[in-house]
Amino acid sequence: MVIGAGQAGASLVAKLRSEGFDGRITLIGAEAYPPYQRPPLSKAYLLGEMTRERLFLRPEVYYKDHAIDLRLNTRVSALDPTKRVVVLGNERMEYDMLALTTGSVPVALPDAVVAGRSGMHIIRGLDDIDGVKPEFIQGRRVLIIGGGYVGLEAAAVAAKKGLDVTLIHRSERILGRISAAETSDYFRELHRTYGVDIREGVTLAALSGEGHIRTARLSDASVLEVDFIIAGIGVTPATQLAKAAGLSIDNGIKVDALGRTSDAHIWAAGDCTSFPYKGGRIRLESVPNAIDQAECVAKNMLGAGQKYIAKPWFWSDQYNVKLQIAGLNTGYDNIVRRVGDKAGAVSFWYYQGDRLLAVDAMNDARAYMVGKRLIEAAKSPEKALVQNPETDLKVLLR
């Protein structure tokens, strides 16, 4: 049985079948739709460039054809590891092995701030996007709270559709938690060229309006007239079910290198988990991690005994810029800037001393691919070679 019908859950059940498991599989999802891609929601789907059906990872008939009992619009109310039982309302289902792929949930503004007014939106699931889509009308005023990837991607869509966009971010710079100042500067300037008003070090102080949000007062005492607000202030791992069942929690559902939780019959994969990584523990919020970890867990549920070795990489699309990130920059102390071969292409290489940690590549797929391969091979090219635009990046791989 698998609880959570997102990218990780869909990947896990598909891998079980492709590895030859012929027993009963049940995939339980809280949403009314079969497993779908989330990254296009705040980009192509919100822009109207992708249909709902194209979001689905597989057609619904796939699950029937592969004898996977797909239960949609179903919420698990409790989990009893002692009896190996999952409670679905009035129904109780027994399991031999269970996988939790519950993902993450968005952080919402306090109810006291919203105070029952309409016009507040989050961007996480398909229903969220369908709810905010009608708001995207040229000339309307939107306030976006949060300067991470979700907020910036929403700002890009709104600007492209001709809305009046203001984005506020509580920290000193956008992307400050996940990127160097150089990457923050790049995207700040990009958004401003499209007319987005970015205000950093600013928070929401209060909202006003009868029944619907009309104005927003900010911490710098400025007041904005707004038609609607999008909050993209982060996510937290969905651990409520696991915690209530007594499983170990450590910045997510704590799993070992195989993906097993503190209960021998329960496994977990994807955004909801924290797992061993280079002597510590990390939790990754990314599609590649959800797929790779879920497939590894599926094999281990069948007895493979294969340790999961994460290869972190991420991406974001904003306007005509594709950001690709390889590695994790934690602990970096210097940055090398490299200008790419194509117009507008640039990459930032993160080093700790002489060791390469990560690469942020904007419209430079070659820098990203070479950087990814170097990081995975634990190779660190000389900084001067990386910085020199005359250096053929392929030489760095030798």
- Assigned token pair, 209: 């309006």
For residue 316, pLDDT beyond 90: yes
What the chain holds in terms of domains, given with CATH numbers, is 2-105+235-301 (3.50.50.60), 108-231 (3.50.50.60), 320-397 (3.30.390.30)
| DSSP characters over 318-356 | ETTEEEEEEE--TT--EEEEEE-SSTT-EEEEEEETTEE
User: Given pLDDT bands bounded at 50, 70 and 90, which one contains residue 244?
Assistant: very high
| Band of residue 344 on the pLDDT scale cut at 50, 70, 90 | confident
pLDDT band at 72 (very low <50, low <70, confident <90, very high): very high
Closest CA to 240 of 272, 264, 282: 272
- Residue 395 pLDDT more than 80? yes
**Strands laid side by side in the 197-200 sheet:** 120-122, 228-231, 141-145, 164-169, 197-200
pLDDT at 48 over 80: yes
**pLDDT tens by residue, 197-224:** 999 999 999 999 999 999 999 999 999 9
pLDDT of residue 227: 97
Which two structure tokens, joined as six digits, stand for 311? 């290869």
Cα separation, 308 vs 272, in Å, equals 15
Q: What's residue 110's pLDDT?
A: 83
pLDDT, position 187 = 98
pLDDT of residue 28 exceeding 80: yes
Question: Is 352's pLDDT higher than 90?
Answer: yes
pLDDT averaged over every residue in the chain: 96
What is the arithmetic mean of pLDDT over 321-333?
96
Handedness of CA 190, 193, 197, 201 (dihedral sign): positive
Strand partners, 198: 167
pLDDT recorded at residue 116: 83
Q: H/E element holding 144?
A: strand 141-145
**What is the distance, to the nearest Å, from the Cα of residue 278 to the centroid of all Cα atoms in its chain?**
22
Query: Is residue 121 over pLDDT 90?
Result: yes
**Average pLDDT of span 30-52:** 93
Query: CA 171, CA 70: separation in Å to the nearest integer?
Result: 42
pLDDT of residue 133: 95
In the block, tokens 């209060």 appear at 206
Using CA atoms, how far residue 3 sits from 35, 61, 95, 257, 365, in Å, is 12, 20, 11, 20, 36
Query: What type of residue is 32?
Result: A
pLDDT of residue 114: 85
46: left (phi over 0), alpha (psi -120 to 50) or beta: alpha
E strand spans, 226-377: 228-231, 235-237, 253-254, 266-268, 273-277, 280-282, 313-318, 321-327, 334-339, 346-352, 355-362
Tell me: pLDDT of 35 over 80: yes
> What confidence score (pLDDT) does residue 196 get?
98
**Residues of the chain above pLDDT 90, percent:** 93
**pLDDT category, 112, cuts 50, 70, 90?**
confident
- Give 141-190 pLDDT, tens digit per residue: 999 999 999 999 999 999 999 999 999 999 999 999 999 999 999 999 99
How far is Cα 40 from Cα 55, in angstroms, rounded to an integer? 8
What amino acid occupies position 301? Answer: M
Q: Are 347 and 364 in contact (CB under 8 A)?
A: yes
pLDDT of residue 109: 86
